[in-house]
Amino acid sequence: MVKQARVGIGYDSHRWSEGRLLILGGVNIPSPQGLLGHSDADALIHAICDAILGAVGAGDIGNHFPDHDPAFKDISSLVLLNRVREIATAKGYLVVNIDATVIMEQPKLRTYIFEMIHNIAGTLALIPERVSIKAKTNEGMGFVGRGEGIAAMAVAMVETI
């Protein structure tokens, strides 16, 4: 049987919020504020979840983990990513690779990217070389540039089992 490859794209954004932790890629990053959300508000993982779900034709993260469900209140997004991996597997797909970008002005993420990659790769049962995380600023433009929030984009490639 010939393997079928598919790709999906994901996007997420969250507002900054006082009194919350900043968690990206499953890493708690020192910051004076975190991201507003029902779960841990890990915009990077949410974008990756949407990319995988899109690639396997399974809707989006809100369909599977609605923000009005108390079961997902403050849940680690790595748990959600593992469930997304299980959804993909149940549909007959394995994740091949992830490429993602986090867009934010501050704090700088360079020293945390290695750990993010390892968290994501471990959750998706991938070797770390199959996960790429980049960090960019928005050069002071738009809601990200004004410091109102952050955004993340991801692409996932999957193939049939």
pTM exceeds 0.95, yes or no: yes
What SS3 string covers the chain? CCCCEEEEEEEEEEEEECCCCEEECCEEECCCCEECCCCCCCHHHHHHHHHHHHHCCCCCHHHHCCCCCHHHCCCCHHHHHHHHHHHHHHCCEEEEEEEEEEECCCCCCHHHHHHHHHHHHHHHCCCHHHEEEEEECCCCCHHHHCCCEEEEEEEEEEEEC
**Which is nearest to 104 in space by CA: 10, 8, 15?**
15
Which domains, from first to last, does the chain contain?
13-104+111-130 (3.30.1330.50)
Contacts of 125 (CB under 8 A, 6+ apart): 85, 95
**pLDDT at residue number 2:** 86
**pLDDT at residue number 1:** 75
What are the 10-residue block averages of pLDDT along the chain, 161 residues in total? 93 97 98 97 98 98 94 96 98 98 97 98 98 97 97 98 94
